[in-house]
Structure 1
Amino acid sequence: MIKAIFFDIDGTLRDFTEKGIRPKTRQAISLAKNHGVRCFIATGRHLLEIQEENLLDGLVFDGYVLLNGSLCLDAGLFPLYENPIPASQVKTILTLQKELGFALLFMEKSSLYVSHITSQLEKLQAQIGTAIPPVEPHMERGLLHPIYQMSPFSENLPAEFFAARLPLCDVTSWHDGGAFDITPKGGGKRLGIQKIMEHYGYSQNEIAAVGDGYNDIPMIRYAGIGIAMGNGNDQVKAAADFVTGPIGEDGLLHAVEYLSRFFGSPA
């Protein structure tokens, strides 16, 4: 029986090209909650982005796996798990940034900031419908405060470049490349979900996960039932137990309707 569902945000709960949450998506969350199923967020996003840009448009969730699993919060936003990047890796990427000049985004627990603004950063932030974070002239503050996720923006440097130089980190490409999410080695949404499961006492076969991006593949494979959105790429779909329709065709509602056969009785 499915007792909890973990939802990605971008491309899953919300369309990159639209503001707000679709009515059918709201219906999907209500369907799950009406059956007593807890609903959680599992995203690479920072809490500030979610709050300040109203990405969830009033939807309420039972907990949050943020920054690709590096920070997990309960419904009251109390930290359940924290996994910052080793300071040695932060120091290394700061050296690389100074040498090569790419824009670099740091995410602390309560703030996020970039080294400088480039056309690549502007383009990719616009693609995901997100404002550009504030510029921090003294990026070395990342050596004084825990960093939970780092994102370099570069058209020319591949993921392998960063992976070879940051052995204590995992590097995940955004949908179309040009930017990467860098998190502690062995972390990711799957680990964050496991920490939520430990807190609430769920087993693996009692959870489902729904997503569309490369960073969703581990959680889709891990979940008792993993679902890929129809707008996801082929690698995501190949990892899933079920492929629903695209977000633009109310695929999330169809996903939860599929899962409902594994729910308990309505609450």
Structure 2
Amino acid sequence: MKPVFFIDYDNTIFSHQTASIPESAVAALKMLQEKGCPVAIASGRSLRTSQLPEELREHFTPDCFVSSNGAIVEIEGKLVWEKYFDPELQKRILDYVLEKQYCLTCGYNNIWYTSNIDRFMKNISPARKAMAPRHGKDFLELYEKRVPSFFLADSREAIDDLQAHFPEVKLLYMGDNLGGADIIPRENGKVIGAKRVLDHYHTDLSNAVAIGDSMNDIELIRAAGFGIAMGNAMTTVQAIADYVTADIDQDGLAQAINRALTHFADQFA
């Protein structure tokens, strides 16, 4: 079995500095599929084949998705797993962020919501300001939605405070470059989702490549047979990786993929 690649999206495939996907990354992703390597996007975003970002849809269709940090798993166009927040826990989190006036964001069926539009416009990356999220009274619609993850687009102090008040969840800091933190149920994570994909292909984590840049990638990079941190990754992520590649805007993903193929060269002999 050829190695299975699990690749983060934001600042690993898609550059928030240029608001685009490097051409070298697109070519490397297509080359992997041509070589028979399944490619899974492992992201904190809620991604599926039917909900691809426009910039990715124009160039490349992954084989699988481990999205919302493992809460949603899609394999070759088929949804095989969904895991949502407990409704009571979800309500308490939403109540708390509104009380504290924190900036929580969430996407649902391609509609975006935020609890604090002013902080959203101040804190979010330029590439995401175009999301034009619903806010104010419209934000209350989230109380009735089944949601797999949230994103706290706020300060480190806000992240630490929410984590202290809700031990049932994990807040995964996205790094100083992107900022904010994914919020997921404590029992979720990319490793759990990746194992479901690997089971489908009758292989295991020793035959997996994981590439990423932020805290929500650490568990998978550490567990994979070959874990790679981007050059723009947090130092904590780089410290646990088997290999550190170049920055995303310096052909980092293409270099990472080529290095991983060298590591598994015997499977292509």
TM-score, length-scaled by structure 2: 0.87
Tell me, in whole angstroms, the C-alpha distance in 2 between the residues paired with 1:25 and 1:252.
6
Which AA in structure 1 matches 2:124?
Q
Aligned Cα root-mean-square deviation (Å): 2.5
For residues 221 and 107 of structure 1, what CA distance do their matches in structure 2 show? 28
Counterpart in the other structure of 1:54 = 55
- Name the residue aligned to 1:135: 134
How big is each residue's C-alpha offset from its partner over 1:211-237, in whole Å with a ceiling of 9 and x where there is no partner?
A: 111111111001110001111121111
Q: Distance in 1 between matches of 2:86 and 2:111?
A: 18
Question: TM-score, length-normalised on structure 1?
Answer: 0.88
Instruction: Provide the C-alpha distance between the structure 1 equivalents of 2:41 and 2:129, rounded to a whole number of angstroms.
Output: 18
Q: 1:19 to 1:91 in 2, by over 3 A?
A: closer
1:227 aligns with 228
Residue pairs, 1:141-160, within 5 angstroms:
141-155=141-155, 157-160=157-160
Classify the secondary structure of the residue corresponding to 2:157.
coil
Alignment of 1:1-267 (within 5 A): 2-47=2-47, 51-55=52-56, 57-76=58-77, 78-108=78-108, 111-118=111-118, 120-129=119-128, 131-136=130-135, 137-155=137-155, 157-176=157-176, 179-261=180-262, 262-263=264-265, 264-265=267-268
How many residues are matched? Answer: 264
Give the conservation status (yes or no) of the 8 Å contact 2:173–2:214.
Answer: no
Is the deviation greater in 208-217 or in 143-152?
143-152
Deviations 1:50-97 (Å, cap 9, x if unpaired)? 635434542111011111211111232x32111111122211112212
The offset of 1:42, in angstroms, is 0.6
Contact 1:114 1:133 in 2 (8 A): no
Greater helix proportion = 2
Once the two structures are superposed, residues 185-236 of structure 1 have per-residue CA deviations (whole angstroms, 9 ceiling, x without a partner) of 1212122112212232221111100011111111100111000111112111
The CA deviation string for residues 149-176 of structure 1, in whole angstroms up to 9 with x for no partner, is 1223333733231122222211112212
Contact 2:16 2:125 in 1 (8 A): no
- The residue type paired with residue 255 of structure 1 is A
CA distance in 2, matches of 1:229, 1:10: 11
Give how far 1:113 is off: 1.9
How far apart are the structure 1 equivalents of 2:120 and 2:87?
24
CA distance in 1, matches of 2:90, 2:108: 12
Query: Aligned pair in 2 of structure 1 residues 212, 2: CA closer, same or farther (>3 Å)?
Result: farther
Structure 2 vs 1, CA of residues 159 and 200 (structure 1 numbering), >3 Å: closer, same or farther? same
Runs of 4+ in 1 over 6 A off after TM superposition: none
CA contact (8 A) 1:84 1:146 kept: yes
Distance 2:171 2:195 in 1: 20
Range with greater deviation from structure 2 (250-259 or 175-184)? 175-184
Distance in 2 (CA, whole Å) between partners of 1:265 and 1:98 is 53
In structure 2, list runs of 5 or more residues that go unmatched: none
Percent identity over the alignment is 27
Q: Deviation of residue 35 (structure 1)?
A: 2.0
How far the C-alpha of 1:107 sits from its partner, in A, is: 3.8
By relative contact order (CA 8 Å, sep 6+), the higher-ranking structure is 1
